[in-house]
């Protein structure tokens, strides 16, 4: 074979190879488009390509954030139990007090005298009872007189106890570890029984009042873990638990008050300290990929479910917690049902589908 003939044969072979490759590429591209583009697949009556995943039981974790303020765990109102002149008030607003710390001292001179009188009266009553019992034994006294003497002795001892209590009450003391929230008494004033003198807030434990938005309050429950960071101690986390959820929503902020009880070792946290709370919610239940939900903020959230015959059916669902790309399904699905997660926007009830095909999902 001549040199020119061999060259022509080589050119023909190369041309055929290029043509074959081009044809194969065109066929592959057409196949790819038919099976990954829903509009093209619908136009030639092929099953629509979609991605599906089964609804499964999972544990969802979500962190609910809310700003808040530290408050006393409880509030104690201290009232006057004696009517007397105030001599001393050694505490002021904001002071931290411990059990038995002196809050106010009243003039006790009258109460000291009253106690001494009560004691003398009690001794006299005891002696009178002894005399009446001796006379009754000798037949010179009546049982009635003895019984009256016994009653008088009991009343005299009761008066001693009351006088002792009144004397103790001239020293107004703190019943707990607390901060002074209010003070309405000053030296030189006279107290009246039942008059409010102080308001204390206990701080051996404190509360973080976190303002949780109404769209998240449904995920908060008693006993949930709360992590609190404060402006006063940056970088430090205080751990507690939810002990109370407010029943009323704020009309201005649309938030509910959630109370997180925190141990206050060293009494570092004071009422009024601001911070940020993170409430950790864990829910186990049926869940789907969040992209499967159609109209998640409307009146009727829906998904497409693919049956055993590869037919798509629209299904209304009721959803709950949304976290980590998953949505909890409260009603409308059963475990194991295949849900369309990609490609559902162009689906209609009864469409035939081809599930779990990879592709760009470009409907243009």
Tokens of 307: 């049956």
Report whether 330 contacts 285 (CB < 8 A).
Answer: yes
Q: Is the dihedral of CA 300, 305, 311, 312 positive or negative?
A: positive
Tokens of 179: 């901060």
Which secondary structure element, helix H or strand E, spans residue 266, and what is its range?
none
What integer pLDDT is reported at residue 13 of this predicted model?
60
Q: How many CA atoms lie within 13 A of 90 on its CB side?
A: 12
What integer pLDDT is reported at residue 27 of this predicted model?
42
Report whether 231 contacts 273 (CB < 8 A).
Answer: yes
- Tell me the CA end-to-end span of the chain in Å, nearest whole number: 55
What integer pLDDT is reported at residue 108 of this predicted model?
96
Read out DSSP for 56-76? EEEEEEEEEEEEEEEEES-EE
Spatial separation of the C-alpha atoms in residues 245 and 259, rounded to whole Å:
6
Q: What is the pTM of this model?
A: 0.64
What integer pLDDT is reported at residue 118 of this predicted model?
96
Spatial separation of the C-alpha atoms in residues 167 and 107, rounded to whole Å:
10
Which residues of the chain fall below pLDDT 70?
1-46, 296-299, 357-364
Return the exposure string of 97-106: e unless at least 16 CB atoms fall within 10 Å of the residue's CB, then b. Answer: beeebebbbb
> Residues 301-322: pLDDT tens digits?
899 999 989 899 999 998 887 8
Return the exposure string of 32-44: e unless at least 16 CB atoms fall within 10 Å of the residue's CB, then b. Answer: eeebbbbebbeee
63 DSSP β-pair partners: 280
> Residues 235-259: pLDDT tens digits?
899 999 999 999 888 888 999 999 9
Nearest in space to 46 (alpha carbons), one of 359, 357, 351 = 351
Spatial separation of the C-alpha atoms in residues 347 and 359, rounded to whole Å:
17
**What is the number of residues in the chain?**
364
Tokens of 306: 């693919």
CA angle 266, 271, 275 (to 5 degrees): 90
**C-alpha pair distances (Å), 341 with each of 59, 141, 168, 284, 326:** 19, 104, 75, 21, 11
What integer pLDDT is reported at residue 84 of this predicted model?
95
Q: Is the dihedral of CA 38, 43, 44, 46 positive or negative?
A: positive
**C-alpha pair distances (Å), 207 with each of 200, 214, 280:** 14, 20, 17
Nearest in space to 339 (alpha carbons), one of 53, 40, 35 = 53
What integer pLDDT is reported at residue 324 of this predicted model?
80
Spatial separation of the C-alpha atoms in residues 248 and 253, rounded to whole Å:
12
């Amino acid at each position: 074979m001549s040199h020119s003939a061999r060259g022509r044969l080589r050119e023909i072979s190369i041309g055929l190879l290029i043509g074959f490759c081009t044809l194969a590429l065109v066929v592959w591209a057409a196949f790819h488009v038919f099976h990954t583009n829903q509009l093209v697949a619908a136009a030639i009556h092929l099953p629509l390509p979609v991605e599906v995943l089964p609804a499964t039981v999972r544990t969802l974790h979500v962190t609910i954030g809310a700003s808040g303020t530290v408050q006393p765990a409880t509030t104690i109102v201290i009232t006057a139990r004696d009517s007397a002149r105030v001599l001393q008030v050694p505490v002021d607003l904001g002071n931290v007090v411990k059990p038995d710390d002196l809050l106010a001292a009243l003039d006790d001179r009258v109460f000291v005298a009253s106690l001494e009188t009560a004691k003398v009266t009690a001794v006299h009553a005891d002696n009178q009872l002894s005399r009446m019992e001796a006379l009754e034994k000798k037949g010179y006294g009546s049982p009635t007189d003895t019984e009256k003497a016994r009653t008088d002795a009991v009343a005299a001892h009761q008066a001693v106890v009351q006088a002792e209590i009144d004397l103790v009450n001239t020293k107004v003391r703190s019943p707990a570890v607390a901060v002074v929230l209010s003070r309405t008494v000053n030296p030189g004033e006279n107290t009246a029984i039942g008059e409010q003198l102080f308001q204390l807030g206990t701080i051996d434990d404190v509360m973080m009042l976190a303002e949780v938005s109404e769209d998240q309050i449904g995920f908060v429950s008693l006993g949930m873990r709360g992590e609190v960071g404060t402006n006063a101690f940056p970088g430090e986390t205080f751990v507690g638990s939810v002990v109370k959820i407010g029943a009323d929503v704020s009309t201005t902020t649309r938030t509910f008050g959630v109370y997180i009880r925190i141990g206050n070792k060293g009494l570092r946290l004071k009422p009024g300290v601001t911070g940020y709370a993170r409430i950790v919610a864990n829910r186990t239940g049926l869940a789907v990929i969040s992209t499967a939900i159609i109209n998640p903020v409307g009146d009727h959230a829906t998904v497409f479910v693919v049956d055993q015959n590869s037919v798509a059916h629209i299904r209304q669902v009721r959803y709950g917690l949304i976290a980590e790309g998953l949505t909890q399904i409260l009603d409308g699905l059963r475990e194991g049902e295949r849900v369309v997660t990609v490609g559902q926007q162009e689906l209609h009830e009864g469409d035939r589908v081809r599930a779990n095909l990879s592709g760009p999902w470009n409907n243009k």
